[in-house]
Amino acid sequence: MYDPSMRVLTVLELLQARESVTGAELARVLEVSPRTVQRYIARLQDLGIPVEGKRGVGGAYCLKPGFRLPPLMFTGDEALSLALGLRALHLLGLGALAPAAHAAGAKLARTLPHALREMVEALEGAVQLDSSPWVVSTDAALLSELLGAVHGAQTVEFRYVSPQSSALTRRVDVYRALHLDGRWYAVGRCHLRNALRSFRLDRMGKLCVLNVTFAAPHDFDALAYLRSTLPPEAPTAPVSVWLDAPPETLQGRVSVWFTQISAEAGGTRLRCTRDDLGSFAAFLLGLDCDFRVDGPPELLDVFERLGARCAARSRSSVSSA
């Protein structure tokens, strides 16, 4: 997703942010080999950028003193917003943009006055952001191409795989792309169904932007549409259950819809509201891990009834043997 030309620009931004950077550091940040870093340095020099230093595998590089791109000006709130936003990309499943985010962070730091830069770094260092295990990783290049198609109102074609069907080629007029509960979605008119549909980006592949345009409906609310396709929420009981399994081991096994999940005491605290406690009890039994029901009492009653049924079934099986 990250093409060589963008990596070359990232090298330039890192060199501008520091007095010198070793080849090993550049290779680590860019996730390439040291020899590839040497090619990027050579490319900058070919473009007339005054990069000085040793080209060897262990060499350090720096820009000629006095060489700087014109700075931008940000307020304190603007700078903090940008810094935290760059760090939060992984919360949107866009961890592949880490090299670009690192370069943008270096550019941001370079534009700030010394006092403001220290304040932003102090505030940024005091914040920890933890990505939920339910956030689905998304192809950033595919998202970028899709957003371009949305902006240009161009029809897209892609291969789509869902649990209900094998891979199909879909042609869609995408009105909006959005992020909801850990996943990216595209919403628009599906030519195959001739109706509004939503598609998960992590199930899309071989995206092609066609030279065909469409007129998107005015003020289309993709979020409202997507939420309207979810099962209606008719809760009658708040549920609180502790599961003897860490959150990361439950990924893909526990729905995130209308559910709060957090790490607790070496396991997972699950809070939700459900109108069908019988189905929820069966779901808990199917997780194949120990659990403790802290509420509601009605859910405990359901387990008592299920236990009685299991015991009766067991006695019946033994007597008929």
30-84 confidence digits (pLDDT tens) = 888 888 888 888 888 887 888 888 655 566 888 887 776 655 556 667 777 777 7
Element (H, E) at 85: helix 76-87
pLDDT of residue 274: 78
Question: Minimum mean pLDDT among 27-31, 119-123, 189-193: which range?
Answer: 119-123
For the chain, report the end-to-end CA distance as a whole number of angstroms: 63
Peptide bond into 296 cis (omega under 30): yes
**Could you give the percent of the chain with pLDDT greater than 70?**
81
pLDDT band at 234 (very low <50, low <70, confident <90, very high): very low
Query: Worst-scoring range by mean pLDDT, 34-38, 57-61, 126-130, 252-256?
Result: 126-130
pLDDT band at 209 (very low <50, low <70, confident <90, very high): very high
The pTM score is: 0.51
C-alpha pair distances (Å), 192 with each of 168, 172, 195, 196, 214:
10, 8, 8, 10, 16
Average pLDDT over residues 186-210: 93
189 has pLDDT over 90: yes
For the chain, the domains span 4-63, 76-125, 140-228, 237-317
Average pLDDT of every residue of the chain: 81
For residue 254, the 8-state DSSP code is S
d(CA 76, CA 81) in angstroms, rounded, equals 9
Cross-strand bridge partners of residue 162: 165
- The answer to whether the CB of 245 falls within 8 A of the CB of 287 is yes
Higher pLDDT, 149 or 124: 149
- Angle formed by the axes of helices 4-17 and 34-46, nearest 10°: 80
Range list of β-strands (E), the chain = 21-22, 51-53, 60-63, 154-162, 165-180, 183-190, 195-200, 204-213, 237-243, 259-264, 267-274, 291-295
pLDDT of residue 25: 87
pLDDT of residue 191: 95
Across 35-39, 110-114, 168-172, 258-262, the highest mean pLDDT is recorded for: 168-172
Sheet of strand 165-180, all strands in order from the earlier edge strand to the far edge: 195-200, 183-190, 165-180, 154-162, 204-213
pLDDT, residue 130, reads 58
Of residues 254 and 198, the one with the higher pLDDT is 198
**What is the third-level CATH fold of 140-228?**
SH3 type barrels. (2.30.30)
Q: What is the mean pLDDT of residues 261-276?
A: 87
Q: What is the DSSP letter of 176?
A: E
**CATH 1.10.10.10, domain 4-63, yes or no:** yes
The top-scoring range by mean pLDDT among 28-32, 132-136, 227-231, 244-248 is 244-248
pLDDT at residue 235, as a whole number:
46
Distance CA 259, CA 125 (A): 30
CATH topology of domain 237-317: Alpha-Beta Plaits (3.30.70)
Give the integer Cα–Cα distance in Å for 143 and 320: 61
